[in-house]
Amino acid sequence: MSDSPDQTARPVPATVQGLHVYPVKGEPGRDLTDVLVEAEGLEGDRRKKAPVQVVAAQDVRDDTRANLVVTLTSEALARSVGAVLRVGDVELDVTGPAGGCPGVYAAVRRPGTVRLGDPVATETDPD
């Protein structure tokens, strides 16, 4: 039997693939299954240049120290600068590229909890 005509291929939504905090500079981080994202960043993370660093899964290297690993493409993540990144019920303002590291920096617009597998979407800021 063939597929019914009303079934169409839909793009797979991006998701959170990794959650990490780095409490002490230069020391290994901790992998998490869920985390509270506060205005200052992820609970348990040390404060640094930006509250949150987000990286595309395809760009993860051995020395990557990003907080959120997402399944967006590198290109889609780079285009998100100036936009809002929705991660589960959390909203992040993507503020710019992450310097000499892969990914982007983000400020927390709406705090909340992020879990592995949460959906990730980019949207233009309506303001």
Position 2 scores a pLDDT of: 47
Confidence of residue 100 (pLDDT cuts 50, 70, 90): confident
Domains and CATH numbers, the chain: 14-113 (2.40.33.20)
pTM of the complete model: 0.88
Burial 17-37 (b: 16+ CB within 10 A, else e): bbbbbbeeeeeebeebeebeb
Distance CA 59, CA 84 (A): 21
Average pLDDT over residues 26-45: 96
Q: Enter the DSSP assignment of 13.
A: P
Compute the distance between CA of residue 72 and CA of residue 49 in angstroms, rounded to an integer.
Answer: 23
**Coil vs helix vs strand at 32:** strand
